[in-house]
Amino acid sequence: MSPASTKASTTPVDADTRLAPGRPGYRRMSLALFAAGVATFALLYSTQALLPAVSAEFAVTASAASWTVSAATGALALCVLPLSALSERFGRRALMTVSLVVAVAVGLLVPFAPSLEWLVALRAVQGAALAGVPASAMAYLAEEVRPKALVAAIGLFVAGNSIGGMSGRIVTGWAAQLWGWRAGLAAVGLMAAACVVAYRLLLPRARHFTPASLNPRVLAGTVRTHLSDPLLMRLYAIGALFMTVFGAVYTVIGFRLAEAPFSLSQGVVGSIFLVYLVGTVSSAAAGKLVGRMGRRGALYVAVTTTAAGLLLSLSGSLAAVLAGLVLITAGFFAGHAVASSSVSRTAKTGRAQASALYQSAYYLGSSVGGTLGAVAFHAGGWAGTVLLGLVAVLGVVSITLYGTHSARVQERRVVRASRAGTPCAAAVARH
């Protein structure tokens, strides 16, 4: 027996030191990134439930008020890629910490904005600061968590996003009803600060991170590689389209529910976002769905659920509208969890940049969806917003069908090549 084989035989079977359920540090890591997700979404969408109040305060239209959301998500989309480069050099944990601290500091200034212009500007700065979290979190998980546990781990992080989005909107809604919308923003800032403290105390140090160069040419080459990957490009488009639906619906829903025939109060409108709990469940369960149906099958379920919710929300019944929001939320978070985890799994190098490109597309979709959703609502009412959402859903279906067709064509090529007994380099190509 050779020395190499002797060494292999004495090596423990479970030599992988990455985190997994049941291993030390996994629970702390999950709770820490859950807290980071809560803080990120609570701050990022802190004005969304308050848009009717902001619109009334500054005497502007719904589309103008929606820029307090779109500016934050747009700035995040622009900054996530350059910040991902910093995370490659200085570490995921450090960048996430700095980003969250800066975002909370700006969040405590936002309530004092003297005009809509100042409010939009501060929200843009806040979104730019928050870009460090999505720029680093997915890469941190891809490096520190075992592949089989990755979908579940990312699902928990996405679940933290959903809890943050829900709790932030509920807190701002009721605080605004009692003390005004500025108090609502201050309350979210304080809640996010508590989450950041918990995150910092809980998150384990990275054990598998290797610093990389900040060479712009290296970064540009990595980005070009990812943008030339057909599977990654489809995943980026899917993330953007899913978020276009979600951004449009949740930017406008407050205006619809505050108007006749519903005429709900600010606090009650904020409480509607309890449906985010459905997103918590669906994103955390995305791993099981993928295990049963495959990634494309899970995406088909997600888009069908989202489309059904959009159509149901056209009803004039409040119960039907709420049921529609439940379906939209479940479909969106499931689709997002599947697509984002697929990006981390697909990219073998430059994972931070791969995840950053996904996040850029994702939040660009949110910015575009929020703005176009408000414009569509102004032009055609809720039906206009739903139509916009259905067009985006159709885009997801088209991309997924194309991916399925490409995979089948590739399989047939591999089979023909194997029967002919010739090497087939395409057998390992990603489609």
pLDDT at 12: 46
pLDDT at 272: 80
Judge contact between 388 and 328, C-beta under 8 A.
Answer: no
1 part of a folded domain: no
Rounded to whole angstroms, the Cα distance separating 125 from 148 reads: 37
Judge contact between 81 and 360, C-beta under 8 A.
Answer: yes
2 part of a folded domain: no
pLDDT at 422: 56
8 part of a folded domain: no
Judged by DSSP in three states, 314 sits in coil
Backbone angles phi, psi at 209, to 5 degrees: -90, 135
pLDDT at 423: 52
User: What residues form DSSP beta bridges with 145?
Assistant: 19
Number of domains in the chain: 1
Residue 85 CA to its chain's centroid (Å): 19
pLDDT at 421: 64
Q: Which residue has the tokens 């899917």?
A: 238
Backbone angles phi, psi at 292, to 5 degrees: -85, -40
Distances, alpha carbon 130 to alpha carbons 29, 73, 258, in Å: 19, 9, 30
61: containing domain: 24-203+218-428
209 part of a folded domain: no
pLDDT at 4: 44
Q: Which residue has the tokens 């292999």?
A: 8
9 part of a folded domain: no
Residue type, 304: T
Rounded to whole angstroms, the Cα distance separating 62 from 375 reads: 8
CATH of the domain at 113: 1.20.1250.20
Judge contact between 106 and 323, C-beta under 8 A.
Answer: no
DSSP H helical ranges for 108-146 = 116-130, 132-144
Residue 286 CA to its chain's centroid (Å): 14
pLDDT digits (tens, 9 = 90+) for 68-123: 999 999 999 999 888 888 887 788 888 999 999 999 999 999 999 999 999 999 99
Of residues 304, 270, 333, 316, the one with CA closest to residue 396: 304
409 part of a folded domain: yes
User: What residues form DSSP beta bridges with 19?
Assistant: 145
Q: Walk along the chain (431 residues) in steps of 10 and give the mean pLDDT of each run.
A: 43 60 78 89 89 90 90 92 82 90 96 95 96 83 79 73 78 88 94 94 79 75 89 93 94 88 84 78 74 83 95 94 93 87 79 82 90 92 96 94 78 74 50 48
Of residues 227, 152, 187, the one with CA closest to residue 49: 187
pLDDT at 83: 87
Global pTM? Answer: 0.75
Rounded to whole angstroms, the Cα distance separating 239 from 228 reads: 17
Judged by DSSP in three states, 416 sits in helix
CA angle 298, 301, 302 (to 5 degrees): 85
pLDDT at 387: 97
Rounded to whole angstroms, the Cα distance separating 358 from 345 reads: 13
pLDDT at 14: 53
pLDDT at 309: 97
Rounded to whole angstroms, the Cα distance separating 253 from 245 reads: 12
Of residues 66, 313, 105, the one with CA closest to residue 190: 105
Of residues 299, 291, 308, the one with CA closest to residue 335: 299
7 part of a folded domain: no
Q: Which residue has the tokens 């007994």?
A: 421
pLDDT digits (tens, 9 = 90+) for 269-280: 878 878 877 876
182 part of a folded domain: yes
DSSP string of 187-222? HHHHHHHHHHHHHHHHPPPPSS-------HHHHHHH
